[in-house]
Amino acid sequence: MQLYETINKIGGQFRLPGKLYSYDVITNGNINSTYKATYRDADGQLVSYIFQRVNTNVFSHPVEIMRNIENVTSYLNEKFPDEVTLRYYHTADDLNYCVDGDCFWRVSNYFDSIAYNTTDDPTVIAGVGEAFGRFQKQLSGFDGSKLYETIPDFHNTAKRMQTFLRAAEEDTAGRAEETQEEIAYLRSVADEASALSIRYAAGEIPCRVTHNDTKANNVLFDRVTKRPLVVIDLDTVMPGMAGYDFGDAVRFIASTAEEDEPDPTRIYFDTGKFRAFCKGYLRQVKRGLTQVELDTLVQAAFSVTVEMAARFLTDYLQGDTYFKINYPEHNLVRTRSQIRLAQDITKKRDELEWIVRETLKNV
Ligand code: GN1
Ligand code: MG
């Protein structure tokens, strides 16, 4: 079936008013398929929506995810009524999703906004930090036990590293030979990268309600004021470590290049960008996080960057079954970029620690 017809049919399930006028594919995102669909209503007004087909290979319990999202967004709507929030449309059966054959669909409001995969603008970077810091703070009163664990052990780095080492041993796609160097590096840092997740499992690091996918492009900005509007992509909101949200965000936004930059020599962990992010983020969470959390932010950035490298390489070694790829070496390119970043974080570690301490004094 043509995509137009599919979207039209799904829009009908959610009782969207008017007639489907146009649609665009949104290419951000490595898992789900996302579309912007625009409808023309009876008065000729154009109204846009976000349609998403959830990847049920990765999210095997999509109904539970939609329940989590309903819980989180209604909590945020109730506590912070003046703020912009995501709203999902409901079907005639009052469900915030619909199933069409093998496909699982959901539809949310569209914001006329801008999202960044990369930027040099410190104000925008601080805005990303502010948005994720505020998200952390706002959910501090939310009862995490209400959340279904959508992907168990999502940021259990120790387990991710074991899975990776097994994939390297098994070598099912016959790619271990060409990735020897990457395998060796990840093997050499596996213990260091796993340490925080082990301390978390032992109860030494607090358990929070976290976003777990804090890429800058999951914050929508107002096109005109360049202020952060809303945090999106709530699929992985689960109990976790606050530091990993911080770390995942900086591995993405403090890089000098995109996550899949093919030329590793262009990839650095930019301390200026890191500082800008810290300013926005720490102002929000300074009082909410414990000393041990504040002291391990840089370690968390290293850990989550190594974890990401290991996840991309695991997928490459297993024949690319998890992340969407645009070309055969895509996961290898992503692996190399994350390794480059992790190595640069190691090199700049003292300076990064210093920036965190200095920023904490000034926010
Ligand atoms: C995936 O699909 P997307 O872009 O929201 C992944 C994240 C990774 C990210 C890397 C459920 O997120 O964990 O950090 O790619 N999501 C899942 O770009 O695995
Ligand atoms: Mg995501």
Say if residue 76 is in the same domain as residue 138. no
**Contacts within 8 Å (CB) and 24+ apart, 60-65:** 61/148, 61/150, 62/97, 62/104, 63/97, 64/148, 64/150, 65/148, 65/150, 65/235
> In sequence order, what are the beta bridge partners of 109?
49
Say if residue 340 is in the same domain as residue 214. yes
What six digits make up the tokens of 83?
Answer: 């703020």
Say if residue 104 is in the same domain as residue 131. no
φ, ψ for residue 22, nearest 5 deg: -160, 165
Say if residue 231 is in the same domain as residue 353. yes
Q: Is residue 199 part of a domain?
A: yes
The count of domains in the chain is 2
CB 1 within 8 Å of CB 21: no
Using a 6 Å cutoff on CB, does residue 233 contact ligand 1?
A: yes
Nearest C-alpha neighbor of 254 from the set 189, 348, 326, 334: 348
> In sequence order, what are the beta bridge partners of 269?
255
Give the CATH number for residue 8. Answer: 3.30.200.20
Using a 6 Å cutoff on CB, does residue 31 contact ligand 1?
A: yes
Q: Which of 50, 84, 110 marks a domain boundary?
A: 110
**Exposed, middle or buried: residue 142 (CB in 10 Å: 0-12, 13-18, 19+)?**
middle
Tens place of pLDDT for every residue, the chain, 363 residues? Answer: 699 999 999 999 999 999 999 999 999 899 999 999 999 999 999 999 999 999 999 999 999 999 999 999 999 999 999 999 899 999 999 999 999 999 999 999 999 999 999 999 999 999 999 999 999 999 999 999 999 999 999 999 999 999 999 999 999 999 999 999 999 999 999 999 999 999 999 999 999 999 999 999 999 999 999 999 999 999 999 999 999 999 999 999 999 999 999 999 999 999 999 999 999 999 999 999 999 999 999 999 999 999 999 999 999 999 999 999 999 999 999 999 999 999 999 999 999 999 999 999 999
Q: Which ligand has the nearest atom to the CA of 255?
A: 1
Ligand 1 test: best mutation among 160, 213, 237, 306, most atoms within 8 Å of CB?
213
Q: Is the pTM of this model over 0.95?
A: yes
What six digits make up the tokens of 67?
Answer: 């329940």
Alpha carbon 140 to its chain centroid, in Å, reads 19
Q: Which H or E run contains 48?
A: strand 46-54
Kindly give the distance from the C-alpha atom of residue 212 to the centroid of ligand 1, in angstroms, as a whole number: 9
Q: Give the domain range for residue 219.
A: 122-362
Kindly give the distance from the C-alpha atom of residue 232 to the centroid of ligand 2, in angstroms, as a whole number: 9
Amino acid making up residue 179 = T
Using a 6 Å cutoff on CB, does residue 115 contact ligand 1?
A: no
Please give the pLDDT value at position 1.
64
